[in-house]
């Protein structure tokens, strides 16, 4: 089974959005990614941006058993179909995630507390620090 831990953040909210995810196979870390999700985006947008990136990476393996772990109750419950999408600035990324998810044959979602999502959380922090560092180096004016 493939396990994916995802996280997104925006600071402030809305603000600079970053993401990070980690992929495990057989209990071994096999891939990770992090980066900028956008500027002027919300936490929910960043969470879904991250999910889209992870699903795009895993697309060639869509027939394998994959479990996505997230500390976003909104993302997990919406992707499971337990909560409806009622609207919001993350709508485009939500729809993109849903379109990608239906291509997978054995995809499941599970909420985890933030403590169990520490690696993905740390990657979002690294991405945020990198984004701030780049902004400080850009010429003003």
Domains, the chain, in order of start with CATH, read: 2-137 (3.30.420.10)
Nearest to 88 by CA among 47, 35, 131: 47
The tens-digit pLDDT sequence of the chain (141 residues) is 999 999 999 999 999 999 999 999 999 999 999 999 999 999 999 999 999 999 999 999 999 999 999 999 999 999 999 999 999 999 999 999 999 999 999 999 999 999 999 999 999 999 999 998 887 666 655
The per-residue pLDDT for 133 is 87
Nearest to 78 by CA among 48, 56, 120, 43: 48
Nearest to 134 by CA among 68, 120, 126: 126
The per-residue pLDDT for 139 is 65
Nearest to 41 by CA among 64, 63, 77, 14: 14
**Sheet with strand 28-41: strands edge to edge:** 28-41, 15-25, 2-11, 65-70, 106-111
Q: Within 10 Å of residue 107's Cβ, how many Cβ atoms?
A: 20
Alpha-carbon 46 to chain mean position: 6
């Amino acid at each position: 089974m493939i396990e994916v831990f995802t996280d997104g953040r925006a600071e402030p909210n809305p603000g600079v959005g970053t993401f990070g995810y980690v992929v495990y196979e057989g209990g071994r870390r096999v891939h990770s990614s992090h980066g900028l999700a956008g500027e002027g985006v919300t936490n929910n947008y960043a969470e879904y941006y991250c999910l889209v990136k992870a699903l795009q990476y895993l697309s060639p393996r869509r027939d394998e058993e994959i479990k996505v772990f997230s500390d976003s109750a909104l993302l997990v419950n919406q992707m499971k179909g337990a909560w409806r999408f009622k609207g919001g600035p993350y709508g485009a990324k939500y729809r993109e995630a849903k379109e990608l998810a239906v291509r997978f044959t054995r995809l499941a979602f599970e909420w985890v507390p933030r403590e169990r999502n520490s690696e993905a959380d740390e990657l979002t922090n690294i991405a945020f620090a990198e984004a701030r560092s780049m902004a400080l180096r850009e010429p003003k004016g």
